[in-house]
Amino acid sequence: MQLRNRFLLTAAVLAAGAAVLPFPQATHASAGGDASDVTPAPAARAGADPEAVPPGSPPGRLTVRAGDTLLGLLGNELDLDAAEAMRVVQALSGVMDAGALRPGQTLVHVLDEDGGGPRLRRLSIRTDADTRVLVSRTDGGGLEARERRVAHRRTTRTVRMRVDGGLYPAAMRAGIPEAVLIAAYRRLSGRIDFQRDLRRGDEFAVVYERFVHEDSAASHDGRLLAARIGQAGGELAVFRPGGGTDGGRDGFYTADGASVATSLLRTPVKGARLSSLFGRRDHPVLGYTRMHEGLDFAAPRGTAVRAAGDGRVVRAGPFSSYGNYVRIRHDNRLQTAYAHLSAFADGIGDGDRVRQGEVIGYVGATGTATGPNLHYEVLRGGEPVDPRALDLPPRRRLTGERLRTFRERIRPLRVAMHGGARNAAAAHPALMLADYAVRR
- Asked if residue 256 and residue 161 are part of one domain, the reply reads yes
- Asked if residue 40 and residue 3 are part of one domain, the reply reads yes
- Asked if residue 145 and residue 76 are part of one domain, the reply reads yes
Which helix or strand (DSSP H or E) is residue 81 part of?
none
Specify the pLDDT at position 328.
Answer: 97
**Do the domain assignments include residue 419?**
yes
Choose one of 367, 389, 411: the last residue of a domain: 389
pLDDT-based confidence at residue 225 (cuts at 50, 70, 90): very high
Choose one of 149, 180, 210: the last residue of a domain: 149
- Asked if residue 385 and residue 280 are part of one domain, the reply reads yes
Percent of the residues in the chain that have a pLDDT greater than 70, as a whole number: 75
What is the rounded distance in angstroms from the CA atom of residue 313 to the CA atom of residue 309? Answer: 11
**Do the domain assignments include residue 165?**
yes
**Do the domain assignments include residue 52?**
no
**pLDDT, tens digit, for every residue of 105-143?**
888 888 887 767 788 889 888 887 778 888 898 888 888
Q: How far apart are the first and last CA of the chain?
A: 33
**pLDDT, tens digit, for every residue of 32-63?**
344 444 433 443 333 334 444 444 457 888 88
**Do the domain assignments include residue 191?**
yes
pTM given for the model: 0.57
pLDDT-based confidence at residue 290 (cuts at 50, 70, 90): low
pLDDT-based confidence at residue 193 (cuts at 50, 70, 90): low
φ, ψ for residue 73, nearest 5 deg: -65, -45
**Do the domain assignments include residue 334?**
yes
Give residues with Cβ within 8 angstroms of 159, minimum separation 6.
30, 33, 34, 35, 171, 174, 175, 176, 205, 206
Specify the pLDDT at position 44.
Answer: 38
DSSP type of residue 43: B
- Asked if residue 161 and residue 256 are part of one domain, the reply reads yes
Gyration radius of the chain's alpha carbons: 28
Q: What is the DSSP string of 363-418?
A: EB--SS-SSSEEEEEEEETTEEE-GGG--PPBS-B--HHHHHHHHHHHHHHHHIII
Specify the pLDDT at position 310.
Answer: 93
* Residue 223 pLDDT greater than 80, yes or no: yes
- Asked if residue 253 and residue 161 are part of one domain, the reply reads yes
pLDDT-based confidence at residue 245 (cuts at 50, 70, 90): very low
What is the rounded distance in angstroms from the CA atom of residue 223 to the CA atom of residue 235? Answer: 22
Q: Report the CATH number that the domain containing residue 371 is assigned in CATH.
A: 2.70.70.10
Choose one of 108, 131, 149: the last residue of a domain: 149
- Asked if residue 77 and residue 183 are part of one domain, the reply reads no
Domain that holds residue 64: 60-149
Q: Report the CATH number that the domain containing residue 108 is assigned in CATH.
A: 3.10.450.350
Q: How far is CA 348 from CA 315, 334, 341, 353, in A?
A: 10, 19, 13, 9
Average pLDDT over residues 316-325: 94
Specify the pLDDT at position 352.
Answer: 95
What is the rounded distance in angstroms from the CA atom of residue 275 to the CA atom of residue 297? Answer: 5
**Do the domain assignments include residue 394?**
no
- Asked if residue 40 and residue 157 are part of one domain, the reply reads yes
Instruction: Please name which of 154, 150, 207 lies closest in space to residue 34, comparing C-alpha atoms.
Output: 207
Count of the separate structural domains present in the chain: 3
Q: Which of 23-37, 44-58, 174-188 shows the highest mean pLDDT?
A: 174-188
What is the rounded distance in angstroms from the CA atom of residue 277 to the CA atom of residue 50? Answer: 61
CA angle 371, 376, 381 (to 5 degrees): 150
**Do the domain assignments include residue 69?**
yes
- Asked if residue 176 and residue 318 are part of one domain, the reply reads no
Q: What is the mean pLDDT of the chain?
A: 77
- Asked if residue 254 and residue 325 are part of one domain, the reply reads no
Average pLDDT over residues 15-30: 35
Q: Helix/strand/coil (H, E, C) string of 233-264?
A: CEEEEEECCCCCCHHHCCCCEECCCEECCECC
CA dihedral 174, 177, 182, 185 (to 10 degrees): -30
- Asked if residue 39 and residue 27 are part of one domain, the reply reads yes
**Do the domain assignments include residue 127?**
yes
Q: Which of 106-115, 328-337, 388-397, 425-434 shows the highest mean pLDDT?
A: 328-337
Average pLDDT over residues 193-219: 78
Specify the pLDDT at position 164.
Answer: 72
- Asked if residue 327 and residue 305 are part of one domain, the reply reads yes
